[in-house]
């Protein structure tokens, strides 16, 4: 049947199909492209759910990484505790939560038993038994990829304090560093927010959630939702941002030329210190937020851990040299490569952590640990870095050894106090 002889309804359908066909074919092609690039595109964003005032989090009972799964609460399991219900706490359990980003969640971990939480739980069980502490330590993985200090503080406040924690470990630093070189979060003065004293980072999380329910916020959500589910929408948004960034740079260059009167003037590239200095301040505010929250719960102890890094002074294996040679150095400021910039950032944060440890020295429920240089004596023929930020099992072995050695005594003292509280409660 020719198109001329078709009914108006059929003509309309055929024309619509013809108009849509290029988009359908483009969607199929881009689904294949992004699937090869990022893994299964259709599953890329279904792994996460949203927690009010916190942001995204792992979906309950889902695959988090290749070998890692979440429990009913969205926390990554240690392999043998997948059906746990953390709303119920056994009388003899000592509950430890480790918060952090993908390093804690388990990137580059080939099995659940090799994660930070599983290793520490094994070490604590041995230590508790050797020291006759009649509690069973349970270490819970509250790490989420790309989380930084503000999200960790918000997760602690909004979720974890409701699950009867005895001990909190915040293991971070790297993602706060990377926020210095992206769009990051806007910093502002510390404001009273929710139950604790949050800084500008958490305020951005708070506003971001509330703004979703305004008319303008709903309109802004539309392209975000579309690019989460349609490869063509993602391709369009990626290129829109690329063009917008280029136009912004060209406008800045033109303005610079007009002001200087010199067509050869380059746009000044900020140094690494200029770019990460505000983030050092924000990280300290976020640490203070979590400290303030912890001090409001006398039964909860807290450890802040600044995670170890690879830097120029560490002997590197052939694999590690290749990893860091391929790491883009163009976006880190003049004469400052990423390794040097990261070492300087962690050095500044380490100074703040040392100062915090002194100012809170009288608070026995708090402890601070700077692990920045934990890899200083690494053998050159052993690989600790599986990429520019995550660790191999050999690196995790070193981390667990330091955590058990440095935090073990503090954790055991907190457990003894918890045990005494339990005995007193039973007597009452």
Domains of the chain: 56-189+268-427 (3.40.50.1110)
Per-residue pLDDT of the chain (428 residues; tens, 9 = 90+): 566 676 778 878 878 888 888 888 877 887 777 665 555 444 444 567 778 778 788 889 888 877 889 999 999 999 877 678 999 999 999 999 999 999 999 989 999 999 999 999 999 999 999 999 999 999 999 999 888 888 898 899 889 999 999 999 999 999 888 876 543 333 332 233 333 333 444 445 555 556 656 666 667 667 766 776 777 877 887 777 777 666 666 666 666 656 655 555 555 656 667 778 888 988 898 898 889 888 888 899 999 999 999 887 899 999 998 888 877 555 554 445 677 888 889 999 999 999 999 999 999 999 999 999 999 999 999 999 998 889 999 999 999 999 999 999 999 999 999 998 875 454 44
CA of residue 8 relative to chain centroid, distance = 56
Of 172, 198, 187, which is closest to residue 350 (Cα–Cα)? Answer: 172
Longest Cα separation, the chain: 92
Q: Is 335 helix (H, G, I), strand (E, B) or coil?
A: coil
Helix or strand (DSSP H, E) at 396 = helix 393-427
Say if residue 218 is exposed, middle or buried (CB neighbours under 10 Å; 0-12, 13-18, 19+). Answer: exposed
CA distance 380 to 337: 21
CA distance 143 to 120: 14
Say if residue 273 is exposed, middle or buried (CB neighbours under 10 Å; 0-12, 13-18, 19+). Answer: middle
CB-based contact 271:334 (threshold 8 Å): yes
Any idea what the Cα angle at residue 397 is, between residues 392 and 398, rounded to 5°?
100
Q: Give the number of other CB atoms < 10 A from CB of residue 158.
A: 17
- DSSP-derived secondary structure for 215-272: HHHHHHHHHHHHHHH-HHHHHHHHHHHHHHHHHHHHHHHHHHHHHHT-TTPPPPPPPH
CB-based contact 77:111 (threshold 8 Å): no
CA distance 338 to 324: 9
pLDDT given at position 267: 54
CA distance 115 to 415: 22
List the beta strands (DSSP E) in 71-214: 93-100, 136-143, 167-172
Q: How do strand 55-58 and strand 48-51 relate by DSSP bridges?
A: antiparallel
CB-based contact 79:118 (threshold 8 Å): yes
Helix or strand (DSSP H, E) at 418 = helix 393-427
Of 355, 402, 354, which is closest to residue 376 (Cα–Cα)? Answer: 402
Say if residue 156 is exposed, middle or buried (CB neighbours under 10 Å; 0-12, 13-18, 19+). Answer: buried
Find residue 303's DSSP bridge partners: 169, 367
- What strand order describes the sheet that includes 366-370? 136-143, 93-100, 167-172, 301-306, 366-370
Find residue 140's DSSP bridge partners: 97
Any idea what the Cα angle at residue 151 is, between residues 158 and 122, rounded to 5°?
85
Q: Characterize 385-406 residue by residue with b for buried, 16 or more Cβ atoms within 10 angstroms of its Cβ, and e for exposed.
A: bbebbbbbbebbebbbeebbeb
């Amino acid at each position: 049947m020719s198109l001329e002889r078709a009914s108006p309804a059929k003509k309309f359908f055929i024309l619509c199909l013809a108009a849509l066909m290029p988009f359908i074919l483009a969607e199929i092609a881009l689904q294949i492209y992004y699937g090869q690039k990022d893994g299964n595109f259709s599953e890329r964003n279904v792994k996460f759910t949203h927690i009010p005032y916190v942001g995204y989090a792992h979906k309950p009972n889902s695959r988090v990484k290749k070998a890692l799964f979440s429990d009913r609460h969205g926390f990554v399991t240690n392999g043998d505790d997948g059906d746990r219900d953390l709303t119920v706490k056994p009388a003899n359990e000592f509950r430890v939560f480790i918060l952090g980003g993908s390093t804690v969640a388990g990137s580059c971990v080939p099995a659940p038993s090799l994660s930070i939480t599983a290793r520490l739980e094994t070490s604590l069980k041995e230590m508790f038994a050797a020291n006759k502490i009649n509690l069973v330590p349970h270490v819970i993985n509250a790490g989420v990829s790309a989380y930084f200090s503000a999200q960790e503080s918000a997760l602690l406040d909004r979720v974890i304090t409701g699950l009867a924690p005895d001990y909190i470990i915040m293991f971070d630093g790297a993602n706060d560093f990377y926020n210095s070189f992206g769009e990051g979060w806007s910093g502002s003065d510390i404001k009273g927010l929710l139950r604790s004293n949050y800084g500008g980072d958490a305020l951005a999380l708070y506003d971001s959630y509330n703004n979703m329910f305004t008319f303008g916020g709903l309109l802004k959500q539309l392209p975000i939702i579309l690019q989460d589910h349609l490869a063509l929408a993602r391709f369009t948004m990626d290129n829109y941002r690329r063009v917008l960034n280029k136009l912004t740079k060209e406008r800045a260059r033109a303005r610079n030329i007009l002001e200087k009167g010199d067509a050869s003037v380059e746009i000044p590239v900020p140094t690494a210190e200029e770019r990460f200095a505000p983030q050092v301040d924000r990280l300290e505010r976020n640490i203070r937020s979590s400290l303030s929250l912890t001090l409001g719960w006398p039964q909860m102890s807290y450890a802040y851990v600044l995670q170890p890094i690879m830097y120029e002074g560490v002997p590197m294996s052939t694999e590690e040299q290749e990893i860091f040679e391929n790491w883009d150095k163009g976006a880190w400021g003049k004469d400052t490569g990423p390794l040097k910039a990261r070492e300087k950032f962690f050095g500044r944060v380490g100074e703040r952590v040392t100062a915090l440890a002194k100012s809170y020295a009288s608070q026995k429920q708090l402890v601070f640990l700077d692990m920045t240089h934990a890899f200083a004596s690494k053998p050159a023929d052993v690989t600790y870095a599986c990429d520019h930020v995550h660790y191999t099992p050999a690196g995790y072995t070193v981390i667990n050894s330091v955590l058990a050695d440095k935090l073990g005594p503090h954790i055991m003292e907190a457990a003894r106090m918890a045990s005494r509280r339990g005995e007193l409660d039973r007597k009452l």
